[in-house]
Amino acid sequence: MKALLLATVIAVAGCHQGNGLGAGDLSEPVDLSEPDLLPPVDMVPPPTCGKIVFCAFMCGTTNLTCVLGCGQSAPAAEVGAALSLVGCAAQNCLASDMGAGGMLQILQCLQDKCPMQLNACSGIGIGARQSF
């Protein structure tokens, strides 16, 4: 009887996984963890001229760090087209009132005063006005 009791105690002391006698594994199971919804960096398309321009307009005229961040990881041709369009807008559409007329007035001004730059900017969604 003593041998049976001793064997039971040794078995219980030696085997404690899964029987509730030891501390449970509190780590989160892999299949229940939060999914990573961001695509890998190499699968995200680089910003187009249009995205760079709209980002720059949203930054405003005083936040240079924000404006410079808009063209990060963009191809040089897209950055060049965006700089050309933003420069034209600054000279022709923002110089007098700093865009106080709103985005619609700026877009109309771009169509009238910067048609070449507007047509060269891919992804902006508007083009220069056609004259018939």
Note the pLDDT tens digit of each residue in 71-85.
888 999 999 999 999
The long-range contacts involving 25-34, CB below 8 angstroms and separated by at least 24 positions, are none
Please check whether residue 48 is in contact with residue 120, taking contact to mean a CB–CB distance below 8 angstroms. no
pLDDT of residue 87: 87
Q: Please, what's the b/e burial string for 56-79 (b: 16 or more CB within 10 A of its CB; e: otherwise)?
A: bbebeeeeeeebeebbeebeeebb
How far is the C-alpha of 117 from the C-alpha of 91, rounded, in Å?
13
pLDDT of residue 132: 43
**Span 48-65, pLDDT tens digits:** 999 998 898 888 767 888
